Amino acid sequence: MRILFIGDIVGRPGRRAVRELVPRLRLRLATDFIIANGENSAAGSGITPGTAQEIFEAGVDAITSGDHLWDQKEVSELLAKEPRFLRPANYPPGVPGRGAAVFERPGKPAVAVLNLQGRTFMPPLEHPFLVADAEVQRLQSQTPIIFVDMHAEATSEKIAMARFLDGRVSAVIGTHTHVQTADERIFPGGTAFLCDAGFTGPHDSVLGREIEPIIRRFTSCMPQRFEVAANNILLQGALVDIDEATGRAVKIQRISEPLPAETQPPPGGATGSRVN
């Protein structure tokens, strides 16, 4: 089985990359299942039913999220009605939505997706390691193929989670920092790992935002409006091959796919952050 994971989708440029590239990548890479982190898909901050639907219509099978979960009030509708949308599993009991799901597929093994959020330099949630331990035990009774989005700031926390789950899940891929790392590997127990998948959106930017306001914020210490940038749009993530019988990863590779030059916006084009 081949699973494509797409790093944080940022605003309209990121959704454009998903819309244009995912159908092509599904065919070219012969992917069986596609997961995307969509927590920044609405104007670069949060997610709405509309932006989620656009991502699903492009061919994504499951959407994960993170610390920007609540940035758009419309997310409550997604949490209540959309089983393909996940929030971090380590929210306290009673919070709407789900942190893990098992996706049944005709004639194919089921795929479990688990969304976790770290606590180091992040908003305080329940203990992700204890939650992961319990959730993985539950999911293992349904399928050997378990894919984890570990949304965290600290690289040590991401690596520690992957080591903790090694041999029990198929992959642990980090999100949140928007900088694709070059440490992809498969741990001894068969768990694929990448510390950060990067982000999907405009890379002539500072983590997807226009450059000058970020510089002004650092140099003046004054508040600035951080609009989503526009140019050099890439889809980033990871491609993981998994043994269907055992759930062990057999291969992982980074993905950094540009929009074709003829479809990239012209220099100085509109950012697309003001409306969804």
Where residue 107 falls (left for φ over 0; alpha for ψ -120 to 50; beta otherwise) is: left
Place of tokens 């996940």: 86
Place of tokens 């790992």: 193
Query: How many Cα atoms occupy the beta-carbon half-sphere of 16 within 13 Å?
Result: 22
From CA 37, how far away is CA 188, in angstroms rounded? Answer: 27
The distance in angstroms from the start CA to the end CA of the chain is: 34
Q: Does residue 68 have an active-site annotation?
A: yes
What is the 3-state secondary structure of 158-177?
A: HHHHHHHHECCECEEEEECC
**Cβ–Cβ < 8 Å for 224, 209:** no
Which residue in the list 68, 151, 176, 203 is annotated as catalytic? 68
Distance of CA 220 to the CA centre of its chain: 32
**Cβ–Cβ < 8 Å for 25, 257:** yes
Edge-to-edge order in the sheet of strand 185-186? 100-105, 108-117, 146-151, 171-175, 192-194, 185-186
Distance of CA 8 to the CA centre of its chain: 5
Per DSSP, what are the bridge partners of residue 64? Answer: 37
What is the set of active-site residues? Answer: 68
